[in-house]
Amino acid sequence: MKRISILLSIILAFQLSLKAQIYKDKKAPIESRIKDLVSKMNLDEKILQLNQYTAGLNTNVNNIGEATKSIPDGIGSLIYFSADPVWRNEIQKKAMEESRLGIPILFGFDVIHGFRTVYPISLAQACSWDPALVTQAAAIAAKEAKLSGVDWTFSPMIDVARDPRWGRVAEGYGEDPYTNAMFGVATVKGYQGKNLSDPNSIAACLKHFVAYGASEGGRDYRYSDVSMQSLWETYLPPYEACVKAGAATVMSSFNDISGVPGSANPYTLTEILKKRWKHDGFVVSDWDAIAQLINQGVAADRKEAGYKAFMAGVEMDMKDNIYFENFKALIAEKKIPMSKIDDAVSRILRVKFRLGLFDQPYTTVVDESARYLQSESKTIAQKLAAESMVLLKNESKTLPLTASARQIALIGPMAADKSNLLGAWSFNGREYDVESLSEGITKEFGTTAKIDVAKGCDFDGNDESGFSEAISLAKKSDVILVCLGEKKGWSGENASRSTIALPAIQEKFVQELKKTGKPIVLILSNGRPLELVRLEPLADAIIEIWQPGIAGGSALAGILSGRINPSGKLSITFPLTTGQIPTYYNMRQSARPSGNQGDYQDISTQPLYWFGHGLSYTTFDYGIPKLSATKIKKTDKLSVEVEVSNTGNVAGTETVLWYISDPACSISRPMKELKYFDKKELAPGAKTIFKFEIDPNRDLSYVDSNGKRFLESGDYFVIVNNQKMKFEIID
Ligand code: GLC
């Protein structure tokens, strides 16, 4: 008997010891590991997991002055303002070995359009219409970030934006919900790979949830008057697509969504994100966004701000330490239930377990030369830069430059600039990694033409002293390449501008150059659509290169020489003037569409360049689209084909944008809605079929102000290349 009881106690002890280690057992299911660990954590440890502090030198001027706090071993997360994997591992080692339970820290950072290999800004990437390439770029960004000690990026930004005065229009994928959804998903896939625990995967973070792009007047941190209809129809779809694609986390926004700020909004953060979309990761607040609830007038003090944000559905507090300071009291006062604390902690642990951080808490340390700027990264950087550039104008085939252009004047503030080509949110980018426009052009044309470079003027100010040197070069040249644009700090966070025109000095400079009578190619590097109403007539050709990252020089040079046939198309409309804002392709139809009723009486109401505009060096001819049927049931599919021919004499790549419209519906709908796009290269004289398989529920339905989707019978149009083909949906 005694022997049996000893045996039983040994088995029990063994089971208890096993039980004690479930959260450390990499073979155990993640949910069991979470449950086990939460059951072992005390209140202090749970509250610490809900906080994010910073580590390293904070170079982001917009993040309100923050020095590195002393880093508690059990902190949930750090914004890692460093690229040193060794230091990261030292911090992590303390957490793993000196804290009671050894919970790894989650290291986050803003990896927006590349880490050290800086790619074009996101707005430019969307102009490539190449999600697969964007996925490749994001995967490399993830690898470079991971090797630098970062497990989690605060990206992709998928805020639909239609007010280019807003500096952050540069960070998203433009004016259209479907475009933001497709490129957001492509970027999430690149970051997270096939499995979040893969060695090169990092967790994505969808931001800024939600409708930050509707911030009043294009100014940051402001009120955004968003109807429920617009919320569901315009701002939520990219998030829904990315949540479905498995995005690990979400960031709550600064803006006040029609009276309920994004960081204290139970409808968006819990009802929609958690209950309807079943998101099982976590929400982190934007920087100081919880403390800012006081300024926004919805919290009397920090304690109330923390209570409201957490109860609304913000699991992690970025930087302002409000959760740490106030949660013990709020729990003691029974205002915050332990069940909600445990749910929040579980969500954070879930992402850490999925990332494999418990089992692989340390960064593999490799030499910088093996971490960054590998040849594959640079190849993709060049390809993405080239595919994102948009030929806006090309009068009488000014481009590509022919052999007759033997003397090229390359002038303007962007001609030899490097730093500004990196664009906003490129903290780990290095100026010396950038190939300037002049370097790229000299390499491309150096043997066939003489390139004279002069700055001529600065980005702003009123110093015209450089004009004369530039003009004298221009007079001797066969063609003038004028490189203008914006400084990288003029877009991004807290970079709203009252006008989207370039500073007067730049416009005046071109007016003076025009007097030389030489052909002018205007090259623009900027982070938003620009007001070109005065510049456009002065230019024979215009190329929008955006902020192309490290490889813009060779990409532009290839386009100028014809080595590359431009294929980019705008992901955002260029208004004629700032006064036309907002103007975007998927507006509602005017009640008086004809004549000039409802138009501006002082200027044209047509924008300069619509969403989808982009020229090529070849020509593409579209046949008549063919429908597989003109009447289908709601449950049927309808395919539409169009034959596209390359009728020019050079190869070119065409992107076909497929839209639908519903002319008579229970609610008014946009004049047209992008629902699919496809991109193919065609040799000269080649023809190919582009096909769109319409799934009525997915492509024709509309969502109402409660988020309910409807598909109505009746007439619809599918629109391609401005050809409208009618068909009917029957019950
Ligand atoms: C900033 C930005 C956000 C960024 C965060 C961390 O204020 O709004 O996009 O991810 O803080 O840097």
- Give distance in angstroms: CA of 596 to centre of ligand 1: 43
Check if 154 has its Cβ closer than 6 Å to any atom of ligand 1.
yes
633 in a domain, yes or no? yes
Query: Closest Cα to atom 10, ligand 1: which residue?
Result: 154
CA distance 162 to 218: 9
Whether residue 343 lies in the annotated active site: no
Check if 258 has its Cβ closer than 6 Å to any atom of ligand 1.
no
Model confidence over 613-670: pLDDT tens digits?
Answer: 999 999 999 999 999 999 999 999 999 999 999 999 999 999 999 999 999 999 999 9
Which stretches of 477-593 are DSSP H helices?
A: 504-514, 552-561
- Give distance in angstroms: CA of 680 to centre of ligand 1: 36
Model confidence over 359-375: pLDDT tens digits?
Answer: 999 999 999 999 999 99
Query: Closest Cα to atom 6, ligand 1: which residue?
Result: 287
Query: Closest Cα to atom 11, ligand 1: which residue?
Result: 287
In order of 393, 543, 559, 578, 717, the CA distances from 524 in angstroms are: 12, 6, 14, 17, 36
**pLDDT for res 67:** 58
Contact indicator for 479, 519 with CB cutoff of 8 Å: yes
CA dihedral 302, 308, 314, 317 (to 10 degrees): 10
**Confidence check: pLDDT of 17 > 90:** no
Show Cβ contacts of residue 446 under 8 Å, excluding neighbours closer than 6 positions. Answer: none
Show Cβ contacts of residue 14 under 8 Å, excluding neighbours closer than 6 positions. Answer: none
Domain count, the chain: 2
Check if 60 has its Cβ closer than 6 Å to any atom of ligand 1.
yes
Whether the upstream peptide bond of residue 582 has omega within 30° of 0, thus cis, is yes
Rg, Å, the chain Cα set? 27
290 in a domain, yes or no? no
Neighbours of 635 (CB within 10 A): 9
Atom of ligand 1 nearest to the CA of 208: 9
724 in a domain, yes or no? yes
Check if 215 has its Cβ closer than 6 Å to any atom of ligand 1.
no
Check if 493 has its Cβ closer than 6 Å to any atom of ligand 1.
yes
Check if 320 has its Cβ closer than 6 Å to any atom of ligand 1.
no
Atom of ligand 1 nearest to the CA of 108: 6
CA distance 143 to 701: 39
Which stretches of 300-406 are DSSP H helices?
A: 302-312, 322-332, 338-355, 368-371, 375-388
CATH number at 454 reads 3.40.50.1700
Contact indicator for 671, 661 with CB cutoff of 8 Å: yes
Atom of ligand 1 nearest to the CA of 154: 10
Contact indicator for 460, 505 with CB cutoff of 8 Å: yes
**Confidence check: pLDDT of 6 > 90:** no
CA distance 148 to 364: 9
Identify the CA nearest to 317 among candidates 37, 79, 40. Answer: 79
**Confidence check: pLDDT of 10 > 80:** no
Measured between its terminal Cα atoms, the distance across the chain in Å is 77
- With the most atoms of ligand 1 within 8 angstroms of its CB, the residue from 59, 110, 157 to mutate is 110
Contact indicator for 209, 269 with CB cutoff of 8 Å: yes
Neighbours of 102 (CB within 10 A): 16
627 in a domain, yes or no? yes
CATH number at 708 reads 2.60.40.10
653 in a domain, yes or no? yes
Q: Could you tell me if 466 and 529 lie in one domain?
A: yes
The beta strand positions in 82-178, using DSSP E, are: 106-109, 152-153
- Catalytic residue among 73, 286, 317, 452, which? 286
**Confidence check: pLDDT of 69 > 70:** no
Check if 249 has its Cβ closer than 6 Å to any atom of ligand 1.
no
**pLDDT for res 622:** 98
Q: Could you tell me if 453 and 573 lie in one domain?
A: yes
- Give distance in angstroms: CA of 364 to centre of ligand 1: 27
Q: Could you tell me if 633 and 541 lie in one domain?
A: no
Q: Could you tell me if 649 and 572 lie in one domain?
A: no
- With the most atoms of ligand 1 within 8 angstroms of its CB, the residue from 287, 288, 316 to mutate is 287
Atom of ligand 1 nearest to the CA of 63: 7
470 in a domain, yes or no? yes
102 in a domain, yes or no? no
Q: Could you tell me if 425 and 513 lie in one domain?
A: yes
Model confidence over 453-501: pLDDT tens digits?
Answer: 999 999 999 999 999 999 999 999 999 999 999 999 999 999 999 999 9
End position of a domain, from candidates 552, 580, 608: 580
**Confidence check: pLDDT of 14 > 90:** no
Banded pLDDT at 595 (limits 50, 70, 90): confident
End position of a domain, from candidates 564, 580, 596: 580
**Confidence check: pLDDT of 146 > 60:** yes
- Give distance in angstroms: CA of 476 to centre of ligand 1: 48
- Give distance in angstroms: CA of 155 to centre of ligand 1: 10
- With the most atoms of ligand 1 within 8 angstroms of its CB, the residue from 154, 191, 251 to mutate is 154
CA distance 611 to 136: 25
- Give distance in angstroms: CA of 586 to centre of ligand 1: 29
Identify the CA nearest to 576 among candidates 514, 480, 500. Answer: 500
Q: Could you tell me if 544 and 444 lie in one domain?
A: yes
Model confidence over 280-303: pLDDT tens digits?
Answer: 999 999 999 999 999 999 999 999
Residue-number span of the structural domain to which 638 is assigned: 620-730
Banded pLDDT at 717 (limits 50, 70, 90): very high
Query: Closest Cα to atom 1, ligand 1: which residue?
Result: 287
Atom of ligand 1 nearest to the CA of 205: 10
Q: Could you tell me if 394 and 528 lie in one domain?
A: yes
Mean pLDDT, residues 548-565: 98
Query: Closest Cα to atom 7, ligand 1: which residue?
Result: 287
160 in a domain, yes or no? no
- Give distance in angstroms: CA of 190 to centre of ligand 1: 21
Banded pLDDT at 342 (limits 50, 70, 90): very high
Phi, psi (degrees; rounded to nearest 5) at 186: -60, -40
Q: Which tokens hold the place of 163?
A: 């007010």
If you ran DSSP here, which 8-state letter would residue 223 be given? E
Mean pLDDT, residues 208-226: 97
CA distance 362 to 359: 9
Instruction: Provide, rounded to the nearest whole percent, the portion of the chain with pLDDT above 90.
Output: 94
Q: Could you tell me if 656 and 528 lie in one domain?
A: no
Check if 62 has its Cβ closer than 6 Å to any atom of ligand 1.
yes
- Looking at every residue in the chain, the average pLDDT score rounds to 96
Banded pLDDT at 68 (limits 50, 70, 90): low
Strands 702-703 and 709-710, how do they pair?
antiparallel
CA distance 422 to 183: 20
Banded pLDDT at 18 (limits 50, 70, 90): low
**Confidence check: pLDDT of 63 > 90:** no
Q: Could you tell me if 680 and 560 lie in one domain?
A: no
Query: Closest Cα to atom 12, ligand 1: which residue?
Result: 110
End position of a domain, from candidates 580, 605, 629: 580
Identify the CA nearest to 494 among candidates 420, 424, 572, 583. Answer: 424
Contact indicator for 540, 615 with CB cutoff of 8 Å: no
- Give distance in angstroms: CA of 286 to centre of ligand 1: 6
Q: Could you tell me if 558 and 702 lie in one domain?
A: no
Burial tier of 592 (Cβ tally within 10 Å: 0-12, 13-18, 19+): exposed
Contact indicator for 513, 189 with CB cutoff of 8 Å: no
SS3 assignment, position 521: strand
Q: Which tokens hold the place of 609?
A: 């360049």
- Give distance in angstroms: CA of 545 to centre of ligand 1: 25
Atom of ligand 1 nearest to the CA of 288: 7
Identify the CA nearest to 439 among candidates 518, 542, 550, 521. Answer: 550
Q: Could you tell me if 413 and 521 lie in one domain?
A: yes
Q: Could you tell me if 527 and 639 lie in one domain?
A: no
Check if 286 has its Cβ closer than 6 Å to any atom of ligand 1.
yes
Element (H, E) at 483: strand 479-485
Contact indicator for 141, 427 with CB cutoff of 8 Å: no
- Give distance in angstroms: CA of 170 to centre of ligand 1: 14
pTM: 0.96
Atom of ligand 1 nearest to the CA of 157: 9
CA distance 274 to 282: 9
**pLDDT for res 690:** 98
